[in-house]
Amino acid sequence: MSPFSRKKVYGGETKPKRRLYEVLHAQGLQMNQDITFLSDGNDTLRALQLEMSPKATHILDWFHVSMRLTVLVQYGKGLVHGDAVLGKEIREKIERLKWSLWHGQVDKALGKIDDLASSIEPFNETYTRFNHLVKALSALRTYIVNNRHLIPNYGQRYHQGEAIATGFVESTVNQVVSKHFCKKQQMQWSKPGAHLLLQTRVKTLDGELGAIFKRWYPDMDLEAEEMPVAA
């Protein structure tokens, strides 16, 4: 199944259950087939996936985990300016936290998050974004706890050639949509318009657009006609 077909669109699909079923069915999915879903941990989305394919494997998308870790890394860079030695030590702890999550060691990761929470206390009065850092660290802990059953050994899966993330799908969609939502554009797109563009792009990437037009317009010649050359 193409990962572009699995990309969800918030608010744009009025009947997501039927839409997902049609996509899976069109690609020959059987109810007992071994399939892997990668998601951001949203309970509603996972419930929909389970209903579509009860035997499926569900994995927390590493792309979303790494995004949260990237936020911590950025805060860590700010800590270095306040105290170079302690700031560097905390940044190293963030890297070790990332290593634990990459290898699916959830309990160790949670312990390292708690250790980080204690380690940043000395910056309470000196770091202007301290409260933001505390909030980000707490949010990460909650995220990991709520999705711990979906966290595999990402490193092992990666080396075995198995999917761990849909980052390239996210970046492709964001690039297409964000450009046309930019206020500096002469023609700013509406959300329904952006959604329709995305659906067209998905069909193009999946190689289905031509067949759809052929079904709609049986007499249409999809092959480009050769233009006569002037004498």
Domain containing 85 equals: 62-150
**Residue that terminates a domain, selected from 150, 182, 203:** 150
SS3 192: helix
SS3 58: strand
The answer as to whether 208 is a domain residue is: yes
Counted domains in the chain: 2
Sole residue written with tokens 């990761």: 109
What tens digit of pLDDT does each residue of 180-230 get? Answer: 555 555 566 677 777 777 778 777 777 788 888 888 887 766 554 444 444
pLDDT at 60: 92
* Sequence-separated (6 or more) residues with CB below 8 Å from residue 41: 60, 61, 64, 143, 146, 147, 150
- Same structural domain, 13 and 79: no
What tens digit of pLDDT does each residue of 53-66 get? Answer: 767 788 999 999 99
Confidence of residue 79 (pLDDT cuts 50, 70, 90): confident
**Residue that terminates a domain, selected from 103, 125, 150:** 150
Cα angle vertex 172, ends 171, 175, to 5°?
Answer: 80
Q: What is the mean pLDDT of residues 86-104?
A: 92
Kind and range of the H or E run holding 201:
helix 191-205
pLDDT at 10: 47
Is the whole model's pTM more than 0.85, yes or no?
Answer: no
User: How many CB atoms are located within 10 Å of the residue 137 CB?
Assistant: 21
SS3 38: strand
